[in-house]
């Protein structure tokens, strides 16, 4: 009996039922949902050890679920999809999925991939919502509240903030920020950071203690 928790996300009840039966028979704790919205909510609440994710979901699609999870979590994500073309696989893996299995699949192969993903999996405890002073950063829903009011951030501003929040107990260098937000070819463009860090300061620094709780090297040296 493993006791490891698996979140199954698929809008087809027979697949959820088959996966649930096979996983529970092998000692896994299984949560199953049919929508991307429920997947993000339950992942934030229960912190699964592995996510089995269909791409073709009603509402929030599977790729958006991957992005939402990767905003705060390193949980292994194994995509299950009827989309077998290379483009879908590349898109899912680039978004942050760890593996991709095309439907229909053999249960024994899938279970082997589950075991492999769990062996490689991240074991740290992660937070979907981070609060510091008047600032609330929801990494799962990708939104920021200041004094209870939403703060509008551009996608790039959000990405800069996300990297800082996820590394709030570690030093973040200019080079790391540039590479994670813009890519490895931009490691010397510190003018990008000057612009976006200044914009973040204006939007978030109503209570300066919120910014002080984040890694500070990038803010102090750009």
Residue 174 and residue 101 share a domain: no
DSSP secondary structure, 107-148, as one string: HHHHHHHHHHHHHH---S---SEEEETTEEEETTTTEEEETT
Residue 116 and residue 98 share a domain: yes
- Whether 72 and 96 have beta carbons less than 8 Å apart is answered as no
Residue 110 and residue 157 share a domain: no
Residue 133 and residue 77 share a domain: no
Residue 216 and residue 151 share a domain: yes
Res 4 pLDDT > 80: yes
| Average pLDDT value for residue range 50-78 | 90
Residue 180 and residue 92 share a domain: no
The candidate with the shortest Cα–Cα distance to 23, out of 93, 115, 104, is: 115
Encoding tokens for residue 84?
């077998």
End-to-end CA distance of the chain: 52
Question: How far apart, in whole angstroms, are the C-alpha atoms of residue 172 and residue 215?
Answer: 6
Res 133 pLDDT > 80: no
Residue 87 backbone zone (phi > 0: left; psi -120 to 50: alpha; other: beta): alpha
Boundary residue ending a domain (120, 142, 159): 120
Alpha helical stretches, state H, the chain: 13-25, 36-46, 62-70, 86-95, 107-120, 155-166, 174-181, 190-204, 208-212, 217-221
Residue 106 and residue 142 share a domain: no
Residue 113 and residue 31 share a domain: yes
For residues 130 and 50, the model is more confident at 50
Res 38 pLDDT > 80: yes
Range of the domain at 149: 129-221
180, burial (CB in 10 Å: exposed 0-12, middle 13-18, buried 19+): middle
Mean pLDDT across the chain: 83
Contacts of 103 (CB under 8 A, 6+ apart): 15, 80, 81, 82
Boundary residue ending a domain (80, 95, 120): 120
pLDDT tens readout for residues 158-179: 888 888 887 776 777 777 777 7
Task: Provide the number of structural domains found in the chain.
Answer: 2
At residue 107, the pLDDT reads: 93
Res 73 pLDDT > 70: yes
pLDDT tens readout for residues 111-131: 999 999 998 865 455 677 888
CATH of the domain at 39: 3.40.50.2300
Res 219 pLDDT > 50: no
Residue 110 and residue 174 share a domain: no
- Whether 192 and 182 have beta carbons less than 8 Å apart is answered as yes
Residue 112 and residue 145 share a domain: no
Boundary residue ending a domain (85, 120, 155): 120
Residue 92 and residue 193 share a domain: no
Question: How far apart, in whole angstroms, are the C-alpha atoms of residue 177 and residue 32?
Answer: 36
Residue 205 and residue 171 share a domain: yes
Q: Which of 7-16, 44-53, 69-78, 119-128 has the lowest mean pLDDT?
A: 119-128
Res 207 pLDDT > 50: no
pTM score of the predicted model = 0.65
Dihedral through CA 198, CA 200, CA 206, CA 207, nearest 10? -110
Res 210 pLDDT > 70: no
pLDDT above 90: percentage of residues in the chain: 34
């Amino acid at each position: 009996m493993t006791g490891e928790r698996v979140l199954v996300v698929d809008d087809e009840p027979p697949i959820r039922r088959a996966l649930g039966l096979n996983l529970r028979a092998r000692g896994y704790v299984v949560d199953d949902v049919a929508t991307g919205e429920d997947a993000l909510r339950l992942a934030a609440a229960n912190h699964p050890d592995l996510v089995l994710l269909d791409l073709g979901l009603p509402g929030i699609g599977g790729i958006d679920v991957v992005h939402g999870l990767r905003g705060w979590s390193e949980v292994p994500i194994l995509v299950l999809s009827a989309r077998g073309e290379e483009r879908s696989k590349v898109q899912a893996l680039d978004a942050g999925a760890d593996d991709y299995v095309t439907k229909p699949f053999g249960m024994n192969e899938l279970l082997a991939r589950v075991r492999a993903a769990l062996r490689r999996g991240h074991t740290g405890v992660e937070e979907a919502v981070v609060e510091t002073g008047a600032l609330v950063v929801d990494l799962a829903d990708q939104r920021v509240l200041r004094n209870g009011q939403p703060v509008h951030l551009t996608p790039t501003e959000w990405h800069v903030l996300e990297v800082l929040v996820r590394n709030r107990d570690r030093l973040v260098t200019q080079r790391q920020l540039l590479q994670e937000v813009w890519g490895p070819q931009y490691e010397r463009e510190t003018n990008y950071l000057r612009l976006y860090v200044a914009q973040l300061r204006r939007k978030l620094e109503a209570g300066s203690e919120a910014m002080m709780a984040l890694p500070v090297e990038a803010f102090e040296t750009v």
